[in-house]
Amino acid sequence: MDRDDPIYRLRDRPSLRLGVMGGAFDPIHVAHLVTAEEALQQFQLDEVVFMPVGTPPHKMRELAPAEFRYMLASVATAGHPHFWVSRYEIDREEVGFTVDTLEFLSRTLRPDARVFFVTGADAVLDILTWKDTNRVLELCTLIAATRPGYDLARLAGVLEHLGPGLVGPGPDGKVWIMEVPALAISSSMIRERLASGKAARYLVPDSVAQLIEKTRAYGHPGG
């Protein structure tokens, strides 16, 4: 791993409470940032690392180039003293599962480090049903952010099947539900707006809007 990578730089930090925010970030938007900030504050995290996916295991569509998504995430987080972007998943050759990234973190960080994997409630279900659920829950605490339009009862129902006491910030709690100020924003909605010639201003940080506009990355009328 690159020595400039935030994970490399955090590897010796004692008692680290690390938030990891996974996603395609195609493009990164303000709801991602609000969610990460909320996790930082509610769970007293020391740092939050955004990890854009390289080749997602369940690829539904063509993503913008990883390098571009990485660049957008970098400019979006540059001004925050505790937000970082890791290249780990985009530099990995094979298709990556969340559990593989968590194994890597557990190998790399100190044994007293604690990893909080922050996702929208929709993504929690995906992670838990994908691969090695039990191992995922051994390696991290999942923070499930409420997301507009998402049925929390459904998540609670699925979690109940996995084991009692799994939900909540109790000692055995492995999945914590986090209330975030509701923002009905998604990357797909932003891509659709851009493709139809609408602006993304205020839905994404200014630096991200400028970079998208300058590169016409998500289509542009007549361009």
Residues that bind ligand ATP (CB under 6 A): 23-26, 31-32, 35, 119-120, 122-123, 145, 147, 180, 183, 185-188
Question: Do 193 and 200 meet the contact criterion of CB atoms below 8 Å apart?
Answer: yes
User: Which residue has 């996974």 as its token pair?
Assistant: 22
Extract the tokens encoding 105. Answer: 């973190």
Q: What per-residue string of b and e applies to 110-137 under the rule 16 or more CB within 10 Å gives b?
A: eeebebbbbbbbbbbbebbeeebeeebb
Nearer to ligand ATP, 166 or 178 (CB): 178
Smallest gap from Cβ 154 to ligand ATP, in A, equals 14
Q: Which is nearer to ligand ATP, 137 or 180 (CB)?
A: 180
Find out whether 57 and 26 touch, Cβ atoms under 8 Å: no
Question: Please, what is the minimum distance in Å from the beta carbon of residue 127 to ligand ATP?
Answer: 9
Cβ atoms of residues 106 and 115 within 8 Å: yes
Nearer to ligand ATP, 188 or 210 (CB): 188
Q: Which is nearer to ligand ATP, 26 or 47 (CB)?
A: 26
If the CB atoms of residues 12 and 195 are measured against ligand ATP, the closer one turns out to be 195
Q: 104: closest CA among 135, 145, 71, 70?
A: 135
Shortest Cβ 115–ligand ATP spacing (Å): 15
Q: In angstroms, give the least distance from the CB of 128 to ligand ATP.
A: 13
CA 48, distance to chain mean position in Å, is 9
Q: Work out how close the CB of 78 gets to ligand ATP at its nearest, in angstroms, rounded to a whole number.
A: 19
Residue number with CB closer to ligand ATP (6 or 150): 150
The position carrying tokens 């985009």 is: 90
How many H-runs (helices) and E-runs (strands) does the chain carry? Answer: 10, 6
Give Cα 197 distance to the centre of its chain: 27
- Minimum CB separation of residue 165 from ligand ATP in Å reads 24
- Give the residue closest to ligand ATP by C-beta: 120
> How far apart are the C-alpha atoms of 51 and 58, rounded to whole Å?
16
